[in-house]
Amino acid sequence: MAEHTEPRHFLTLLDLSRKELYQLIRRATQLKESWNNGEIYEPLKNRTLGMIFEKSSTRTRVSFEAGMAQFGGHAIFLSPRDTQLGRGEPIDDSARVLSRMVDCVMIRTFEQDDLERFARFSRVPVINGLTDMYHPLQLLADMQTWFEHRGDIAGRTVLWVGDGNNMCHSYINAARQFDFRLRIACPVGYEPSAEVLAPAADRCEIVRDVMQAASGADLIVTDVWASMGQEGEQDQRAQLFAGYQVNDRLMAQASPDALFMHCLPAHRGEEVTASVIDHANSVVWDEAENRMHSQKALLEFLLTRPGRR
């Protein structure tokens, strides 16, 4: 049996050091260039990624499957509908079993606690593919996209508009790791978790007036008003969030070359207008593409470290 060292996990952006994150972003761009140049690089030949999806996905699933194929490896899609996980096999047992077969596990689920529990019982690295609390993979892609368009983000001003949700929490963690200022414009009652915000209080602030919050911003980011699992609140949220739409008037408050990002899927006419998402300063398609390149960099980092097979 291969020598066993404790696996590194990626459950939040804080699991990697600042230095590791910067290296990973640089590596993502190198891997992108190399792939676009037609170079074959297969560091994960014969290796397998297990992907547990308890929520829907287009980007996360396809970027991991394509990325593993490009690396010479394989990805397995696992849904609770047709695995024993959906019939109540305990998380601990599932983690023990799966991690004896695959080299890495990605999980998209509801509770961050379930993800952490799986990681505690796993022999192999576990990656957060989105929970109700965080979406750190999206931040790898967003930071890569920013760096490719504008260079370092340290000292810049980012505006998060809308729900204080999983993406907002990961932006707060990114503000700590990448050293940018984050303004959060959200309706009363939809603030990010105080626990996530408190350690970042020196660089993050909640601003109620969204126009004022956009003033001079370098990057404006938003997300859906009702996340997966909140579909029943859609109508109520649509009313409450109506004043938090990213539109041309809001973008006009920001710095003239401000970028727009959205993790997608987006609802044109709700959280963002078509004019903004389809504008030249919108980098949403680069963000989506960079999911694949940054996740390849993450897989390489987690799976080819000394001591891992």
Contacts with 285 (C-beta within 8 Å, 6 or more apart), sequence order: none
Q: Give the C-alpha separation, 130 to 115, whole Å.
A: 10
- Are 257 and 281 spatial neighbours (Cβ–Cβ below 8 Å)? yes
Q: Cα dist. 160→71, 155, 219 in Å?
A: 34, 16, 9
Binding mask 253-292 for ligand CP (x = CB under 6 A): ----------xx----------------------------
User: What residues form DSSP beta bridges with 220?
Assistant: 159, 260
Q: Does 66 bind ligand NVA (CB under 6 A)?
A: no
User: For ligand CP, which residue of 12, 60, 70, 173 counts as binding (CB under 6 A)?
Assistant: 60
Contacts with 192 (C-beta within 8 Å, 6 or more apart), sequence order: 164, 165, 168, 169, 172, 184, 186
Q: Find, among 126, 164, 162, 141, the residue nearest to 302 by Cα.
A: 126
Query: For residues 157-216, which are near ligand NVA according to CB under 6 A?
Result: 165-167
Q: Cα dist. 45→2, 38, 67 in Å?
A: 16, 17, 12
Quick one: 213 or 283, whose CB is closer to ligand CP?
283
User: For ligand CP, which residue of 138, 145, 245, 294 counts as binding (CB under 6 A)?
Assistant: 138
Place of tokens 């397998």: 48
Least CB distance from residue 283 to ligand CP, whole Å? Answer: 14
Binding mask 201-240 for ligand CP (x = CB under 6 A): ----------------------------------------
Least CB distance from residue 89 to ligand CP, whole Å? Answer: 25
Residue ranges binding ligand CP (CB under 6 A):
57-60, 130, 138, 263-264
* Catalytic sites, residue numbers: 108, 135, 138, 223, 263, 291
Residue ranges binding ligand NVA (CB under 6 A):
130, 135, 165-167, 223-224, 227-228, 263
